[in-house]
Structure formats: C-alpha cells, structure tokens
C-alpha cells in the first residue's frame, strides 16, 4: 500500500529551500539537425475557458479567483498529476498577463505554478495580450515590464520554470520583434538563455528569422502549428508546410501549441485522406525525426473541441481521444503500449505514517524534493500529492524506504541536528527505525534520537526523543 508522512506544522512557504531538480533524461535517438533537440518537453497547455486573451485575470479551467494559495495548489496538483497519469506529460504551459501578476490573484495563482514544479513538471509561462486589442503587440509596455520583473524575481532561480516573453507577436516585424526580445534578455540577463523561449514571427508560425538573429543566440524558440491553417489531406503535404517554418532550427524549437479536434471521434491511426489526422501524423513524424518537443493545445480547456482531457469527477480527468493521445505520445517518442513514468513508482508494502501536529492540519507530507533519486538528497516536508516521492514503507528490516530501494538515513553523524537524507539501502543500523506507540520514530542505532520536523524549517532532522513534542508526532496514513 502507498503511504505518506504528513505534518501540520506549517512554517512560512518562503522558508522552503530550493527543491532538487529532476535531471532531464536523454533524448531517444538524435535530432536530424543541431546538437541537442528539445524532446524532453512533453507537454500540454492548461488554458482559460474563455481563451487566454483576457482583459482581466487569466484563470485556467478548474481554478477560481475566489480560492487562496493552498486551495489553488491542491486543485492544480490534481490536474497536473492527472496530466502525468493520463497523458504522460512532464510539461505544462500556463498563461500570464498584467492582471494575473503582482495582484491578489497572483498570490493564489503561484500555487498552480508551484504545484506543477513540485510535481516534477517543467512550467512555461507565456504572456497573452488582452482581448480588447488582439493586435499581436504588447498592450502596455510599462505593465508588461513590471509583470515580467515580478515573475522573474519569483521564478528566475527555479530551473523548472521557462519564460516565453509573448505569445504570437504577429503585430511586429522581424526586426522589431528581435529588438523587443533582445531587450527582454538584457533586462533579465541573470536568467539562463536556455530557459527563455522566443516566439517565432507572425502567429508563432516561423522560427527561421528569430533563429538566425545573433541577439537571440542561446535561447529556445517557439513554434505554433495547427491543422486548420490549410486543407492538406496527406502527410507529405503537411510536412512540406511545416519544414520551411523550422528551417535549420528544429533542434532549438519547442512546438508550444499544436492541436486538432479530439472530442469529435476522429481516428488518428489513419494518417491519410483527412485534414486533421494527416496533419497530426506529419507533425509527430517530424518531431521524432528532428527531436523537438510538443506542448499540445490544450491539455485542458473547458468547452474546447481540441481539449485532450476533460473533467469527469473531482480531481479526475479523462482522455477525450485515445488514438489522438497515442499519436502525440509517438511524437514524444513514447511507445504506444509502453507504461512510462518519469518518476520511480511508489512501492507496495506496509504504509508508513503521516505526521500530525497540534495545528490539526494533515496535508503536509514527508517529501523527497524534486523527485530526486540521488543518494544524499535531504528529505523535507511539502504539500501531500500522493506521488512516489512521498510513498514510504517500513520494511520487515525496519528500514524506511522510498522508490523501493532508497532508505532514510542520517546525512552525517548520528547526532542531534543531523539532516535526514535518502541513501542506497545497506542494512546498516543507522538506516533502521522503530515506529513507536507514542507516535515517535526513533533510530535503532541510537534510540535516544527521533525523527523531527523543526517548527522553523521544512527539513527533517534528528532530535532528542520527546514524546510530548508535536514536532515528533507521526500518525499512520492508510
């Protein structure tokens, strides 16, 4: 059985140390051009039901401006975990605008961003202009600059967050667009260029101009490509349409929007004779050939015939077209029948425990930050998500294991104040723990030392056992 360790002793979220980052896995095969490729981006857009062109806050489907940070975090956790389980995505693209940043909604909306990154997702933040203009230009330069200053100040140091200065800049000439984005890079020169995604010209429909611009060297590029742009009914026609838009820059490109009807019953296993199915067949074949990532539009948007999932219950999404998803996964270089999860699975076995504190809260769990599997990673506390990085077992050998083969151990000397980490299981006494009737967990090697969650920290340490300390109280979670 899967289990979690929970705590209700919440310190301020700002006390949380930066989470360890999941290293991107190597691409399967090699792109046809360029040195790397972007196939590690297997993503979906999560969009506002009204579309992301909004004069007020952009609010992805299922979220609400009435909710605070923690409720938004919980709702977003449900969605992104469903994106992983149902779709096998590891990236989510979210909209922002000045009404959504540095505002009351921003305080809550960050819960969605944080939930995604904490669940191991890459997050692409992209600016949408307002609905009252839709001229392909920044609506208000001062508000645009202030928005991005706030976003970068918050997430510039998070390697899981990527920045797309503007969605579909069709109101700019190539030169004007290069000038604007080069200025953005200068203003935010502390952000690695590899985490900045520059939209192609027009409706993000051609990356050759921005790809050739020396001012934008080192950035990723964004392309949009849709089946409603033409009436082709063969893969070869669609390839001939797509390839000139990429030129020699496919290896730098993330297709950050691509979509076709998913709720109408199309069979995407047939790639010829239909506009939509031949389009998706061509896109995914070129993606495999050139090694670029696809971020499907939309993964979730209420009322959109292109939506890849729909809400069927509280926190439950269902895929709208299995053949369409299989085709997208093929473009992502996933095998159709492969059971793939980027994260180690949660092991079966006896449930461990949940942390319980005097506050009465029970939605904070012991967590391996960033789903890291690296020995020596310090474990800590975070909002419960049901993931394999929060599923600990107490074995017959009295080990606390995660991922099935990593054990909880002191990171240094077996002493008060030592941080707890994950390590390769060795059977050593220092990796053995006793779960006691008084709700404490003590070290077998030194029974005077107990697992503790200091009130002023998100980390876990060893402390002198004190059954009366709420920071050492742990209750079983089934």
Look at residue 384 in the predicted model and tell me its pLDDT.
Answer: 64
pLDDT at position 13 over 70: no
The end-to-end CA distance of the chain, in Å, is: 8
pLDDT at position 394 over 70: yes
Rounded Cα gap, residues 211 and 224, in angstroms = 15
Give domain status of residue 314, yes or no: yes
Q: Are residues 221 and 306 in the same domain?
A: yes
Q: Can you give the CATH number for the domain in which 93 is found?
A: 3.20.20.80
Give domain status of residue 9, yes or no: no
Quote the mean pLDDT of the chain.
Answer: 84
Rounded Cα gap, residues 64 and 62, in angstroms = 7
In 10 A of CB 23, how many CB atoms?
11
Rounded Cα gap, residues 460 and 396, in angstroms = 23
Buried b / exposed e along 156-179 (16+ C-beta atoms within 10 A): bebbbbbbbbbbbbebbebeebbe
Give domain status of residue 304, yes or no: yes
- Give me the residue label for tokens 């109280």: 473
pLDDT at position 345 over 70: no
Q: Are residues 142 and 47 in the same domain?
A: yes
Q: Are residues 321 and 360 in the same domain?
A: no
Choose the final residue of a domain: 331, 364, 381: 331
Q: Are residues 230 and 144 in the same domain?
A: yes
210 phi and psi angles, rounded to 5 deg? -70, -30
Look at residue 473 in the predicted model and tell me its pLDDT.
Answer: 81
Look at residue 468 in the predicted model and tell me its pLDDT.
Answer: 80
Give domain status of residue 430, yes or no: yes
Choose the final residue of a domain: 331, 346, 379: 331
The 3-class SS string of the chain reads CCCCCECCCCCCHHHCCCCCCCCCCCCCCCCCCCCCCCCCCEEEEECCCCCCCCCCCCCCCCCCCCCCHHHHHHHHHHHHHHHHHHHCCCEEEEEECHHHCCCHHHHHHHHHHHHHHHCCCEEEEEECCCCCCCCCCCCCHHHHHHHHHHHHHHHCCCCCEEEECCCCCCCCCHHHHHHHHHHHHHHCCCCCHHHEEEECHHHHCECHHHHHCHHHCCCEEEEECCHHHCCCCCHHHHHHHHHHHHCCCHHHEEEEECCCCCCCCCCCCCCCCCHHHHHHHHHHHHHHHHCCEEEEEEEECCCCCCCCEEEEECCEEEECCHHHHHHHHHHCCCCCCCCCCCCCCCCCCCECCEECCCCCCCCEEEECHHHCCCCCCECEEEECCCCHHHCEEECCCCEEEECCCEEEEECCCCCCCCEEEEEECCCCHHHEEEECCCCCEEECCCCCEEEECCCCCCECEEEECCCCCHHHCEECCC
Identify whether the C-beta of residue 156 lies closer than 8 Å to the C-beta of residue 187. no
Identify whether the C-beta of residue 130 lies closer than 8 Å to the C-beta of residue 139. yes
Give domain status of residue 7, yes or no: no
**Cα torsion angle, 389, 394, 396, 397, sign:** positive
- Lowest average pLDDT, out of 58-62, 223-227, 262-266, 330-334, goes to 330-334
161 phi and psi angles, rounded to 5 deg? -105, 130
Q: Are residues 367 and 327 in the same domain?
A: no
Give domain status of residue 106, yes or no: yes
Rounded Cα gap, residues 280 and 227, in angstroms = 8
pLDDT (tens digit, 9 = 90+) per residue, 405-423? 899 999 989 999 999 999 9
Which residues span the domain enclosing 168? 31-331
Look at residue 395 in the predicted model and tell me its pLDDT.
Answer: 83
- Alpha carbon of 171 to those of 134, 155, 182: distances in Å? 9, 28, 17
Q: Are residues 39 and 94 in the same domain?
A: yes
Look at residue 203 in the predicted model and tell me its pLDDT.
Answer: 96
Choose the final residue of a domain: 297, 331, 365: 331
Strands 161-164 and 197-199 come out as unpaired
pLDDT (tens digit, 9 = 90+) per residue, 169-196? 999 999 999 999 999 999 999 999 999 9
Q: Are residues 269 and 411 in the same domain?
A: no
Identify whether the C-beta of residue 330 lies closer than 8 Å to the C-beta of residue 78. no
Q: Are residues 325 and 393 in the same domain?
A: no
Q: Read off the pLDDT of each residue in 62-69 and give the average, rounded to a whole number.
A: 96
Q: Are residues 186 and 283 in the same domain?
A: yes
Give domain status of residue 166, yes or no: yes
Please choose, from the candidates 39, 51, 47, 93, the residue with its C-alpha nearest in 3D space to the C-alpha of residue 333: 39
Q: Read off the pLDDT of each residue in 351-375 and give the average, rounded to a whole number.
A: 59
Give domain status of residue 282, yes or no: yes
Look at residue 205 in the predicted model and tell me its pLDDT.
Answer: 97
pLDDT at position 113 over 70: yes
Please choose, from the candidates 462, 459, 454, the residue with its C-alpha nearest in 3D space to the C-alpha of residue 416: 462
Query: Token pair of 110, please?
Result: 């960050």
Structural domain tally of the chain? 2
Q: Are residues 190 and 109 in the same domain?
A: yes
Query: Token pair of 138, please?
Result: 């920044």
Q: Which residues contact 160 (CB under 8 A, 6 or more apart)?
A: 21, 116, 117, 120, 121, 122, 123
Rounded Cα gap, residues 352 and 469, in angstroms = 20
In 10 A of CB 393, how many CB atoms?
19
Q: Are residues 399 and 311 in the same domain?
A: no
**Band of pLDDT at residue 389, cut at 50, 70 and 90:** confident
Q: Are residues 326 and 205 in the same domain?
A: yes
Q: Can you give the CATH number for the domain in which 414 is found?
A: 2.80.10.50
Q: Read off the pLDDT of each residue in 203-210 and give the average, rounded to a whole number.
A: 97
- Lowest average pLDDT, out of 57-66, 201-210, 314-323, goes to 314-323
384 phi and psi angles, rounded to 5 deg? -65, 135
pLDDT (tens digit, 9 = 90+) per residue, 232-278? 999 999 999 999 999 999 999 999 999 999 999 999 988 889 999 99
């Amino acid at each position: 059985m899967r289990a979690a360790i929970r705590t209700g002793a919440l310190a301020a979220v700002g006390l949380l140390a930066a989470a360890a980052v999941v290293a991107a896995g190597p691409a399967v095969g090699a792109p046809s051009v360029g040195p790397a490729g972007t196939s590690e981006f297997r993503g979906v857009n999560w969009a506002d039901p009204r579309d992301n062109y909004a004069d007020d806050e952009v609010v992805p489907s299922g979220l609400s401006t009435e909710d605070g940070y923690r409720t938004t975090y919980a709702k977003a956790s449900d969605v992104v975990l469903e994106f992983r389980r149902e779709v096998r995505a590891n990236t989510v693209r979210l909209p922002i605008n000045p009404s959504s940043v540095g505002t009351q909604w921003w305080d809550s909306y960050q819960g969605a961003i944080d939930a995604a990154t904490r669940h191991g997702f890459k997050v692409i933040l992209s600016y949408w202009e307002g609905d009252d203009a839709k001229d392909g230009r920044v609506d208000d330069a001062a508000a645009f600059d202030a928005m991005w200053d706030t976003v970068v100040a918050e997430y510039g140091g998070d390697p899981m967050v990527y920045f797309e200065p503007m969605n579909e800049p069709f109101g700019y000439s190539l030169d004007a667009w290069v000038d604007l984005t080069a200025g953005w890079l200068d203003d935010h020169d502390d952000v690695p260029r590899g985490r900045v995604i520059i939209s192609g010209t027009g409706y993000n429909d051609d990356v050759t101009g921005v790809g050739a611009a020396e001012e934008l060297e080192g950035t990723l590029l964004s392309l949009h490509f849709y089946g409603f742009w033409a009436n082709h009914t063969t893969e070869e026609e669609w390839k001939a349409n797509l390839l000139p838009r990429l030129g020699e820059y496919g290896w730098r490109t993330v297709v950050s929007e691509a979509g076709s009807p998913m709720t109408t019953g199309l069979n995407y296993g047939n790639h010829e004779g239909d506009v939509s199915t031949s389009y998706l067949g061509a896109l995914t074949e070129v993606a495999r050939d050139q090694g670029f990532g696809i971020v499907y539009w939309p993964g979730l948007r209420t009322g959109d015939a292109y939506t890849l999932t729909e809400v069927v219950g509280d926190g439950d999404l269902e895929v709208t077209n299995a053949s369409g998803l299989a085709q997208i996964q093929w473009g992502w270089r996933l095998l159709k029948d492969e059971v793939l999860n980027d994260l180690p699975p949660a092991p079966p076995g006896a449930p461990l425990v949940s942390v319980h504190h005097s506050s009465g809260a029970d939605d904070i769990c012991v967590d391996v930050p960033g789903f890291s599997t690296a020995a020596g990673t310090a474990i800590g506390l975070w909002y419960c998500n049901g993931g394999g990085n929060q599923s600990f077992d107490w074995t017959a050998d009295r080990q606390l294991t995660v991922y099935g083969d990593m054990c909880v151990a002191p990171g240094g000397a077996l002493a008060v104040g030592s941080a707890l980490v994950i390590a390769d299981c060795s059977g050593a006494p220092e990796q053995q723990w006793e779960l006691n009737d008084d709700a404490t967990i003590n070290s077998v090697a030194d029974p005077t030392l107990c697992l503790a969650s200091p009130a002023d920290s998100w980390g876990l340490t060893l402390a002198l056992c004190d059954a009366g300390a709420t920071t050492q109280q742990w209750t079983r979670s089934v």
